[in-house]
Amino acid sequence: MARAVVAIVGRPNVGKSTIFNRIIGDRLSIVEDKPGVTRDRIYGVGEWNGRSFSIIDTGGIELNDEQILKSIKAQAELAIEEADVIVLMCDAKAGLTQSDSEVAEMLYRSKKPIILAVNKVDNMTRMDDTYEFYNLGLGDPIGVSGAHGSGVGDLLDVIVEKLPDTTDEEYDEDVIRVALIGRPNVGKSSLVNALLGEQRVIVSDVAGTTRDAIDTEFERDGQRYVLIDTAGMRKRGKVYENLEKYSVMRAMRAIERADVVAVVINGEEGIIEQDKHIAGYAIEAGKASVFVVNKWDVVEKDDKTMQHFENSIRNHFLFMTYAPVVFLSALTGQRVQKLLPVVNRAAEQHSRRIATGLLNDVISDAVAINPPPTDKGRRMRINYATQVAVKPPTIVVFVNAPELMHFSYERYLENKIRAAFDFEGTPIRIFTRRKSEDKD
């Protein structure tokens, strides 16, 4: 089921990232007492009273001091378009500002649920400073303290109360849902048309033409698919050209609903930082993945070009070495037929379950070849392992002392498991747990 989306909007340095981190329970946004410091991490998942929702920290789109108001308005516009619920964050210490008023007016016109939160209410005296924010006309301000965490529960109560019911389209279990993700203008819509063999999606060479995620059902060689074509930027213009990272928001919605994620890269332009950000969300969501290098027809190449490009992908996406790479041209149709068999394989491996006996044989052999290292005279002992879930394959390793499981040894075990069982195209999750009767 696709999650509802909550956006935190406000001028720089009001504490959006601090509240964002409080809600998702991790310090994924950089927090620094300097306006406009948020740059990379803008998307997380929050949960409260049994409701899960996606949350956007719009601080990631700050531009520069000369364009602060323009930037804040851009945040508000994007939040209005993307979010189901919007939190306007203000600052009790600074008081009500013109920027707050202008953004509040924009949000009010959106007719979307707006929650007014006033940050830096670090004590009861500060609560008096929230009253002037009634002038924004957005109802009762909720006083919160990002530094201390007070009031965040009250804020979450209101957020959950205003979340819409989210229902996902129902597809049969044998249908493979494929999300095409990538930055604007890498050719996602063209690829949909090439796979379908007809013009089902409008194609343009202007970045950001596609407006919404579109589900397209079709069948090929007896296998049914749903293609989820993710939109690029909806707006065009200088401000939005600088905000391409917001294509991540739509990509996330598509990723959540997909079985296999096709990360589309522009072969003509090569790999850029935003490609890595977008692919990273597929990893976090635990989805099967395939790299699709599009526009391969216009790349000058020799007999080593393809291998060099694949090596570049491996170097840039170090934690996705399991993902196969398909080179194609959606425009000419070159090699497009190779994509679906690779998708099928990734979907199959994503759902694969390994018998406990076979898994433990592989683990035992791995330990015999390379025993776990010691730490201050203590050595981790692996008792047994079992696969507890699929999509992605999830393995729990029971040991005497979980704290002794080093990341490098976990990666070693994963490599041995992959060597034995393949799992091409899918991440594997390994969790270490203490064997209950072990007191060692």
d(CA 76, CA 346): 38
The Cα 77–Cα 82 span in angstroms is 9
Strands 51-57 and 43-48: antiparallel
Look at strands 114-119 and 142-143 and give their pairing: parallel
Domain boundary among 350, 366, 389: 350
60 is in an annotated binding site: yes
Parallel/antiparallel/unpaired status of strands 429-434 and 51-57: unpaired
pLDDT digits 0-9 by tens, 92-107: 999 998 888 888 888 8
Residue 9 among known ligand-binding residues = no
168 in any annotated domain: no
CATH number at residue 78: 3.40.50.300
Q: Please indicate, yes or no, whether residues 43 and 69 belong to a single structural domain of this protein.
A: yes
Q: What is the pLDDT of residue 362?
A: 97
Does 229 reside within a domain? yes
- By residue range, what is the domain housing residue 110? 4-162
In the structure encoding, which two tokens stand for residue 424, read together?
């091409």
Same domain? 138 vs 193:
no
pLDDT for 335-359, tens place per residue?
999 999 999 999 999 999 999 999 9
- 97 and 192 share one domain: no
Question: Using CA atoms, how far apart are residues 410 and 52, in angstroms rounded to an integer?
Answer: 29
Which 8-state DSSP code applies to residue 164? P
154 is in an annotated binding site: no
Burial class (CB in 10 A: 0-12, 13-18, 19+), 221: exposed
> Mind listing the pLDDT tens digit for each residue in 411-433?
999 999 999 999 999 999 999 99
Q: Is residue 251 part of a domain?
A: yes
Are 60 and 42 a contacting pair, CB within 8 Å? Answer: yes
185 is in an annotated binding site: yes
Question: Which CATH number do you get for residue 404?
Answer: 3.30.300.20
Q: Is 120 annotated as a binding residue?
A: yes
Which residue(s) pair with 218 in the sheet?
225
Residue at 183 is within a domain? yes
Q: Is 297 annotated as a binding residue?
A: yes
Residues 360 and 336 in one domain: no
Same domain, yes or no: 344 and 361: no
- Determine whether the annotation assigns residue 379 to a binding site: no
Same domain, 153 and 223: no
- Find out whether 10 is annotated in a ligand binding site: yes
Domains of the chain: total: 3
Q: Annotated binding residue at 184?
A: yes
Residues 294 and 346 in one domain: yes
Write out the E strands in 162-248: 176-181, 214-220, 223-229
Clarify whether residues 258 and 330 are in a common domain. yes
Tell me if 102 is assigned to some domain.
yes
Q: Is 352 annotated as a binding residue?
A: no
The answer to whether 114 is a known ligand-binding residue is: no
370 annotated to bind ligand: no
295 labeled binding residue? yes
| 255 marked as part of a ligand binding site | no
12 & 94 share domain: yes
Known binder of ligand: residue 162? no
Task: Out of 113, 140, 162, pick the residue that ends a domain.
Answer: 162
Domain termination site, one of 136, 162, 188: 162
The pLDDT of residue 259 is 94
Q: Is 11 annotated as a binding residue?
A: yes
186 is in an annotated binding site: yes
189 annotated as a binding-site residue: yes
59 is in an annotated binding site: yes
- Evaluate the CA torsion angle 62, 67, 71, 74 in order and state its sign: negative
In this prediction, residue 212 carries a pLDDT of 47
Q: Is 58 annotated as a binding residue?
A: yes
Q: Is residue 167 part of a domain?
A: no
Sign of dihedral through CA atoms 58, 63, 66, 70? negative
Question: What is the distance between the alpha carbons of residues 424 and 273, in angstroms, rounded to a whole number?
Answer: 24
- Domain assignment present for residue 144? The answer is yes
Torsion of CA 297, 303, 305, 311, to 10 degrees: 130
Q: Does 57 show up as a binding residue in the annotation?
A: yes
**Is 61 labeled as ligand-binding?**
yes
| Same-domain pairing of 65 and 111 | yes
Say whether both 297 and 190 belong to one domain.
Answer: yes
**Does the annotation place 13 within a ligand binding site?**
yes
Q: Report whether 121 belongs to an annotated binding site.
A: yes
Per-residue pLDDT band at 273 (split at 50, 70, 90): confident
Q: Is 74 annotated as a binding residue?
A: no
229 labeled part of a ligand binding site: yes
Of 174, 196, 343, 319, the residue nearest 264 (C-alpha): 343
For residue 12, the model assigns a pLDDT of 79
pLDDT score at 45: 80
115 part of a folded domain: yes
Note the pLDDT tens digit of each residue in 197-241.
Answer: 865 554 544 444 443 455 788 889 999 998 886 654 333 344 444
Statement to judge: residues 109 and 46 lie in one domain: yes
**68 annotated among ligand-binding-site residues:** no
pLDDT category at 188 given cuts 50, 70, 90 is: confident
